[in-house]
Chains A and B, each alone.
Chain A
Amino acid sequence: DAGVIQSPRHEVTEMGQEVTLRCKPISGHNSLFWYRQTMMRGLELLIYFNNNVPIDDSGMPEDRFSAKMPNASFSTLKIQPSEPRDSAVYFCASSLRGTIQNEKLFFGSGTQLSVL
């Protein structure tokens, strides 16, 4: 199994530009999570999907952030317009929910975003 795949690995952009981060979850997993990690705030949940439906987006910081999951094998996190304070590592994670024993997250390698 290839694991959770994220792209790009690194993204450098200028303030005001649109940024799109991509994620392919593990095949067969039915839940997908977007996290943001910074030194100051640690790992923060932004949004999570179950069976492609957004369940909780209370962690999305502002309307500049949006996430979609058009099918079970693909999700995007978009920031428009981007700001320097959005600089962080963005992780995608997936899990198989429905049985308690399987609620374990598998993380991708992350996208290091730098907004200049």
Chain B
Amino acid sequence: QKEVEQDPGPLSVPEGAIVSLNCTYSNSAFQYFMWYRQYSRKGPELLMYTYSSGNKEDGRFTAQVDKSSKYISLFIRDSQPSDSATYLCAADNAGNMLTFGGGTRLMVKP
């Protein structure tokens, strides 16, 4: 079993929809949680960064971490075709290396 699991999708939604992307993890020592966005033929780029449990909002994006259930979520409001990409969640144990999920491919249709 991988330490960070993601549904690979693809997830297809109409423009303007609210998107929910999710990850589960197994390592209780993880404290830092990130979402990376990867466009086709590009490297991943950091989208959201959160510490421990709670919510963090940045524009149309909200990252949510529930450490009690080991669940990580990314919500995208008013989704746009430009949001079409692969979203990778990642977790870090304070000073060690990031562990990535396999990524969820999102398609937002106009």
- The chain A residues found within 8 Å of chain B, CB to CB, are 4, 33, 42-43, 45, 48, 56, 91, 93, 97, 100, 103-110, 112
Contacts and interface: CB of A to CB of B under 8 A. Distances in A.
Contact of A43 (B44, B46, B95): B44
- Of B42, B94, B95, B97, most A-chain CB atoms within 10 Å: B97
Interface size class of B (residues with CB under 8 A): 20 to 34
Contacts of B42: 109-110
A110 B32 contact: no
B103 A42 contact: yes
Majority-rule SS of A interface residues = strand
Contacts of B63: none
Contacts of A56: 97
Q: Which 5 A-B pairs have the closest CB atoms?
A: A107-B43, A42-B102, A43-B100, A107-B44, A104-B46
A99 B35 CA distance: 19
A2 to B, nearest CB: 13
Contacts of B32: 100, 103
Given A103-B32, A103-B92, A45 B43 contact: no
Contact of B95 (A103, A108, A109): A103
